[in-house]
A and B are shown apart, each in its own frame.
Chain A
Amino acid sequence: MTSSITTMAEMAAKGEKPEILFWVGCAGSFDERAQRVSKAFAQILNDCEISFAILGSEEACTGDPAKRAGDEMTFQMQAMMNIQVLDAYEVKKIVTACPHCFNTLKNEYPDLGGNYEVIHHSTLLQQLINEGRIKLKDGGAFKGKKITFHDSCYLGRANGIYEAPRSVLEALDADLFEMKRAKKNGLCCGAGGAQMFKEAEHGTHEINHERMEDVMEIQPDVVAVACPFCMTMLRDGVKQKEQESKIEVLDLAEIVVRQNG
């Protein structure tokens, strides 16, 4: 199995440039659970023989949570440093598995001089399936399984991407069920707006527990997500409801890899 992941610096040393930069993000780099998503996605890119690289230690937080917490200064410093790195490597196209990085790079970096073609991994997976470059096995690990998709706010409402992740799931031999709050009405997992990094304000219950009520109505085998923070929040929800033995929370990239694994 080819599993080499090169960095932009390594490529540049050889005078090469990748077709696409895989922006891993903080969660994908440091969070153990999200690292598995990064690995799965890198494996898909390798299997499809897509020339890609990561920035490795030259990548830094996009500044999204700082901006949303009101710290525009930290955000802009991060953004400008990242733009310097990206421009130094003459990056044109970026793919990321994090909707927050995706939104910030695509929508907020242009005002600071960073202009790139940015796509979310769900869109790339959809393209690769449509082009036949990813061939999903008939049957496979998800045959007859009940799957529901949890929309990430920063993919869905923030950027209007509802169909790409669903089309990936529809390509499986599984049954896709929608929660009562889905797509434009999808309920937040509770992590956005930098809430991931602090305790919630006083209330009656946690937002991810509220979301678990929607999940429980479906009783799925798998909750598919496309965001590392939704992943954390929903896994916590599954634990709180003591459903670990019944419900698995998986990213789209992991689902694709496992279907063919």
Chain B
Amino acid sequence: MSILAFILVSAAAIYFFAKRIVSVRRNIFLGREETINDRSSERWAQMTRVALGQSKMVVRPVAGFFHILIYVGFVLINAEVLEIFIDGFTNQHRIFAPFLGAFYDVLISFFELLALGVIIACIVFLARRWGGLKRFKGLEMQGFPTRDAAIILIVEIILMKALFIMDAADMKLSNGEHFFLVSSWFSFWTEWFTPAQLETISHTAWWFHLVGIFAFLNYVPYSKHFHIFMAFPNTWYGSLDPAGKLNNMESVKSEVKMMMDPNANPYAATDAPLARLGAKDVQDLSWKSLMDAYTCTECGRCTSVCPANQTGKKLSPRKIMMDTRDRLEEVGKNIDQHGLEFQDGKSLLGDYISIEEIRACTTCNACVEACPVLINPVNIIVDLRRYLTLEESNIPAEWGMMNTNIQNNGAPWKFPATDRGNWAQNNG
């Protein structure tokens, strides 16, 4: 009975998780094609350093330290979750114990210390978040994003608590055979119950932890917490080029080549419909920008260093990423409900991100440098600017003048090109 229940719960959880992953993958590949598979050894090194090694997290030492507590705890405690799984399949309890002997208690005690670390880190993070740290405020954080953060931290604390309750009950039941370090500090309450009650408590805690993990697994891909998976592919695919390099628009290249080639036949152009220049909606962005959006955990390090944001402009790089994700989710839902061709008349630019926001960017790359998981908000901003400029000719008058001057005089100011070398003549 217990095994059957376990298998049913596990199968359902894994089925829904896999289904969600497939739909996220489809959404990401709604984006524009871009081949990223060069220099793979550098990519593995980058992923190892940045995601596995948390190299950019520790730039801010306090957050970095507590984040590593949660991260290491999460990864290593999964060894205990493996035991919980095998126990579930075999209807055993603590199946590893007989094999490992005394070392089992050492191992579980070690996991308990990690779990304690996770609880402490979660409490610290809750305190930072609701203790007025400016980085976690901001317009884009109102409503779900703040609730989402609270849910994640509180659920993590409860899940760890369930482990301690199970361990303490089992320790008491074992009559001195087992000793688990951290739960022994908090095991006073086991005196109040009979062995049969403790048996029920342990069993309940086991189920609670298991169902909790599955619930968490299925919540994560809808949450900012998705970064725990996405950080890995996103850092693998992250740019290896100097941050200052903006990508070349190949579609423009062929057009410019033709304009500059005196032998080109303007009528030789194909009848194929021209792809949109720049980005108006999420499908026009590179798939990597869409992966960036699913990877963002809304920590706000980007926004806290953005010169535009710090001087009161509307631009917030974090909002750019959150808007991209929200819009992509909406487009995905539309496709699920109405098919691939459905248009809802909305777009990323305009309905989510305003022109004023993207105009304020200085492309200084502070946000790119600050992101612990190699997200690049500048690429999205520039793609949106490209759409406005190339498709709608919607640019500030001053930029229009600048572009005209560049085309006519070879400089953004209105100086004659012939005077360009004058400074060198009267050099004295």
Contacts and interface: CB of A to CB of B under 8 A. Distances in A.
A111 B247 CA distance: 9
Interface string A82-111: 000000000000000000000100111001
B310 interface: yes
Contact of B311 (A7, A42, A76, A203): A203
B108 to A, nearest CB: 42
Given A57-B417, A80-B256, A159 B244 contact: yes
Interface stretch (A169-177, A189-197, A237-245): A189-197
B424 A61 contact: no
B154 to A, nearest CB: 33
A206 interface: yes
Interface in A57-85: 57, 59-61, 63, 65-74, 76-78, 80-81
A245 B81 CA distance: 68
B377 interface: no
A3 B252 contact: no
Nearest to B249: A72
A210 interface: yes
A246 to B, nearest CB: 24
Contacts of B241: 107
Contacts of B420: 24, 29-30, 56-57, 59-60
B399 A197 contact: yes
B248 A112 contact: yes
A201 interface: yes
A127 interface: no
Given A39-B423, A207-B308, A69 B411 contact: no
Interface of B: 241-246, 248-249, 252-253, 255-257, 259-260, 277-278, 305, 307-308, 310-315, 356, 359-366, 368-369, 382, 384-390, 395-396, 398-399, 401-403, 406-407, 410-413, 415, 417-421, 423-424, 427-428
B427 A71 contact: no
Contact of A68 (B307, B314, B382, B423): B382
A78 B360 contact: no
A107 B310 CA distance: 29
Contacts of B388: 70
Which of under 10, 10 to 19, 20 to 34, or 35 or more describes the interface residues of A?
Answer: 35 or more
A158 interface: yes
B417 A153 contact: no
A103 B421 contact: no
A68 B412 contact: no
Given A190-B307, A200-B313, A201-B359, A56 B424 contact: yes
B253 A78 contact: no
Interface centre among B308, B311, B407 (most CB of A within 10 A): B311
B403 A71 contact: yes
A143 to B, nearest CB: 27
Contacts of A55: 421
Given A56-B420, A80-B256, A157 B363 contact: no
Contacts of A206: 311
A72 B413 contact: no
A63 B386 CA distance: 14
